[in-house]
């Protein structure tokens, strides 16, 4: 039986539950073993250690969340030299020299730009907007933030808050910010935990605050359905688990070269959130 491994930061984040479901389904279909490991935070020493350990054990293939242009270069080069294929999942940084066969990930800048453009249509000109990140110095969040700024365009005052990587931490951070700054009327998150936490803070603050952001969870979908969150942008986490394992296995077994897959930036709002929630439930139960 072939053995594969997925390596990621923020390994316990709720977002990855759907990724793991995709991995499990692909593993059952292919009759292979696939582990999901990582760091609770974003410690590159830990992540590189897991990568090097997998290479030393002669794993058949590695799916790696490549969240930095340079810090995995040495380890990915060694893996590829030893014939161990690497496919990027969730985050794919193509510049910087990371060795990998393909990437299954979102175009973060374009996704952020689409979020900013929609928010700009809903917010009054001149509004103060808070952009949240659950962690600092993280490539996908920074690229989404860059895109949000571009999508908002001129006429908005944008501030940035790092919230912490759980909805509860984000809710407290955003609530404290809103208490101190009564002029902020809009929040655009860049990830699941800070979007969810921003919605929780908006419910609590006692004045109208526009909220939008990224990713899905049962609570985010509930808040979209009730109008607390205007929209959230999906990145198909199930596919981020399913397709990388297929690509790794097809390369290991048949030397079929994989290609990049853009998992898109579908917008979920009140018009389709019930349909998405039902589909997620069927996926979880399937």
In this structure, are 214 and 113 located in the same domain? yes
The CATH number for 214's domain is 3.40.50.2300
Same domain, 241 and 225: no
Q: What is the mean pLDDT of the chain?
A: 93
Residue 170 lies in a domain: yes
Q: Are residues 65 and 141 in the same domain?
A: no
Question: Given a cut of 90, is residue 3 above it in pLDDT?
Answer: yes
The pLDDT-based confidence of 256 (bands split at 50, 70, 90) is very high
User: Do 135 and 223 lie in a common domain?
Assistant: yes
Q: What is the mean pLDDT of residues 7-32?
A: 94
Phi and psi at residue 213, to the nearest 5°: 175, -145
Give every strand in the sheet of 157-162, ordered side by side: 157-162, 128-133, 184-189, 210-214, 232-233, 267-268
How far is Cα 234 from Cα 271, in angstroms, rounded to an integer?
14
Structure tokens at 71: 């810090």
pTM: 0.89
The DSSP secondary structure of 25-86, one letter per residue, reads HHHHHHT-EEEEEE-SS--HHHHHHHHHHHHHTT-SEEEE---SSSTTHHHHHHHHHTT--E
Do 134 and 189 lie in a common domain?
yes
Closest by CA position to 251, among listed 86, 98, 105, 122: 86
Query: Per-residue pLDDT averaged across 150-171, rounded?
Result: 94
In a domain, residue 47? The reply is: yes
Residues 116 and 222 in one domain: yes
HSE (side-chain half, CA atoms, 13 Å) at 98: 25
245 in the same domain as 145: no
| Domain housing 27 | 3-106+235-264
- What's the pLDDT band for 96 if we cut at 50, 70, 90? low
Q: Average of pLDDT values for 45-61?
A: 95
**Residue at 56 is within a domain:** yes
pLDDT band of residue 14 (cuts 50, 70, 90) is confident
Give CA–CA dist 271/170, Å, rounded.
27
Does 224 share its domain with 116? Answer: yes
How many independent structural domains does the chain possess? 2
Token pair 């990587």: residue = 165
Q: What is the pLDDT of residues 215-247, one digit of tens each?
A: 998 999 999 999 999 999 999 999 999 999 999
């Amino acid at each position: 039986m072939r053995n594969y491994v997925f390596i990621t930061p923020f390994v316990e984040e709720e977002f990855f539950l759907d990724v793991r479901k995709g991995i499990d389904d692909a593993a059952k279909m292919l009759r292979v073993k696939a582990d999901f490991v990582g760091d609770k935070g974003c410690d590159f020493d830990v992540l590189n250690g897991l990568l090097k350990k997998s290479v030393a054990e002669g794993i058949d293939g590695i799916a790696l969340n490549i969240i930095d242009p340079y810090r995995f270069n040495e380890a990915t080069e060694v893996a590829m030299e030893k014939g161990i294929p690497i496919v990027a999942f969730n985050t794919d940084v193509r510049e910087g020299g990371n060795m990998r066969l393909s990437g299954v990930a979102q175009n973060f800048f374009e996704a952020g730009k689409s979020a900013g453009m929609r928010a700009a249509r809903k917010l009054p000109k001149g509004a103060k907007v808070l952009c949240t990140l659950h962690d600092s110095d993280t490539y996908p969040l920074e690229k989404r933030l860059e895109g949000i700024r571009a999508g908002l365009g001129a006429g908005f005052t944008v501030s940035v808050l790092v919230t912490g990587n759980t909805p509860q931490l984000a809710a407290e951070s955003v609530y404290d910010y809103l208490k101190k700054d009564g002029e902020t009327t809009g929040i655009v998150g860049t990830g699941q935990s800070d979007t969810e936490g921003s919605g929780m803070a908006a419910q609590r603050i006692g004045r109208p605050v526009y909220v939008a952001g990224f990713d899905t969870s049962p609570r985010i979908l509930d808040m979209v359905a009730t109008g607390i969150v205007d929209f959230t942008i999906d990145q198909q986490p199930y596919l981020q688990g399913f397709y990388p394992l297929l690509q790794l296995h097809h390369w290991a077994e048949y030397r079929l070269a994989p290609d990049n897959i853009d998992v898109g930036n579908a917008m979920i709002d009140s018009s389709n959130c019930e349909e998405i929630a039902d589909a997620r439930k069927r996926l979880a139960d399937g």
